[in-house]
Amino acid sequence: MFKYYFEQVENVAIWPIISLSIFFVFFIGLTIYVYKMNREHIKHMEKMPLAKDVENPKSHSDLKYQAHG
C-alpha cells in the first residue's frame, strides 16, 4: 500500500537521507550534552531513587545506610 503512495511522491529518495542526517545530528548533540554534564549532578540523580532524604544528604555513607534501611 505505501509502495504505491511513495511512487507518486517526487524526490522520495531524499527523505531517508534527511531523516538520517537529523538522527545523526541529534545523536551527536546528545552525546556532547552528556559528556559536558556536571558529574556531581549525575551522582545526585543516580542516588535519588534509593535515598529517603535527598534534600539534605549528610554524606554518601548516610545515603547508603538510608537506602538499605
Domain for residue 17, yes or no?
yes
Domain that holds residue 15: 1-48
Separation CA 45–CA 38 (nearest Å): 11
Give the per-residue pLDDT at 64.
54
pLDDT at residue 66 in the model: 53
Mean pLDDT of all residues in the chain?
A: 79
61 located within any domain:
no
The answer to whether position 18 is within a domain reads yes
pLDDT at 69: 47
Q: Is residue 13 part of a domain?
A: yes
Domain annotation covers residue 24: yes
Helix, coil or strand: residue 13: coil
| Domain membership flag for residue 53 | no
Secondary structure letter of residue 54 according to DSSP: -
- All three cell numbers of 4, joined, read 504505491
Residue 29 or 14, more confident: 29
The pLDDT value recorded for residue 44 is: 87
3-state SS assignment for residue 65: helix
Number of domains in the chain: 1
Asked if residue 59 is part of any domain, the answer here is no
